[in-house]
Chain A
Amino acid sequence: MLDLTSPPLLDVLHVSQSFSKGSGEMGAPILKDVSLTLRSGEIVCLLGRSGCGKSTLLRLISGLTRPTEGSVTLDGRTVDGPAEGVAMVFQSFALFPWLTVLDNVEIGPRAIGVGEIETRKRALKAIDTIGLDGFESAYPKELSGGMRQRVGFARALVVQPKVLLMDEPFSALDVLTAETLRTDLLDLWHDGRLNIKSILMVTHNIEEAVLMCDRILVLASHPGRISAEIANPLPHPRDRLDPDFRNLVEKIYALMTQRPEPKPLQTGTASSPYLGVALPRVSTNSIAGMIEEIAAPPYHGVADLPHLADSLQLEIDDLFPLGETLQLLKLAEFADADIKLTPLGRRFADMDVDQRKKVMGEQLLANIPIAAHIKRVLDERPSHRAPATRFREELEDFMSEDYAERTLRSIINLGRYGELFAYDEDAQTFSYENPT
């Protein structure tokens, strides 16, 4: 089905995107120099973790936002506004709650001036294709998540797009429902009943990508860019337990947990220390839980990531931040598709709460620059107090506002646990003053 002879359906050329801050200057880039093509007859995945800009990329392609640099060409025409020939399916379904199923499906063609009778014909056909017959006059509120997303699909199909864009379409659904919808969609696609030429979907679910897509583009963050492209030649229907399937999943896990290439050596000075380590938001309880889980049987200190994700029911957006935090704290490290506890990590598993707090404090000071910096500032000041805004601003020299805020929140949480300092939310200040 893949059409390699005609020109690509969609061409994204050297696209970069940054959003201007309130002050008018440009912020850190969300996407940097991204290029991709989409040909007729293929399903392509954009796979990445939250914050890697994959949804932004989808919005650039649909014409909802304009790239700061580069261009998007759809079917030979430059995209310079909400484009004809694409339709989007949303993670949140994005249905109008005050319209019935039929009206939700009809509103697209009606809005661009397709006649009432023609619209009705097309809408009923789309509803029929997607398996929603009988629900025409229901309101979205009355439907289950799976049925709502089917409405989302019907609404996208009814405008007869060439390219179907899907923004994590199954991630708001429960496991069983999501799987039904995936296979239904694949069946329709392979039977050629969808009447669309190509599908581009965003996901953070590795198995979903391997199950559905012919080509997988892995996105990395900071700034968002395509870090790998993986062809998926497995024949349909695909079996999740098939060894080839498992191998591909492992390969992608390994790709996505690779250590980023070492940062340019920047040690900083006492007056302007290097703070460029962003922390994800994770809870201390899940850190401890994760370490205990890996230390216990069947893993005994080394866990296969796909297996771990499956048994703990963790999405990679939960699993990877945890793993990375462990890696930053030198309690564990990634090796291919495995996560392995360090000797300290193994000891941590057996410690009591006070010992764990002590280890956490030490590891923070030794490995997380902002933790050491806060401590140093508190020590230096006679009042032993310092406002949070100061550290936020210092962090913003190294990362975007969002990341700075998240890192600060994280360090407050971890620092409280490690009893490095106290933080007063009302006054927004760090100090050593815990109630005694």
Chain B
Amino acid sequence: MDRAQVLKEIIEVVDPLDELGEDTVISENDDLDSLALFNVMVYLRQHGYQGEVKEFSSCKTLGDIVSLIA
């Protein structure tokens, strides 16, 4: 899956109030709360992501998360 498609699907999972992009900083965005990140992790696992959760937790931006599977 290409980056644009992954980003689009992650944004659908988050269902944000504000516009999100690859450069969105996770810790600075209210849409990316605990529940949203929970749902993103579920999405990644459903799409074959096998990495360590600390790798996911170390992502600073939404683009970093996209890079985990794209």
A joins B in a complex: no
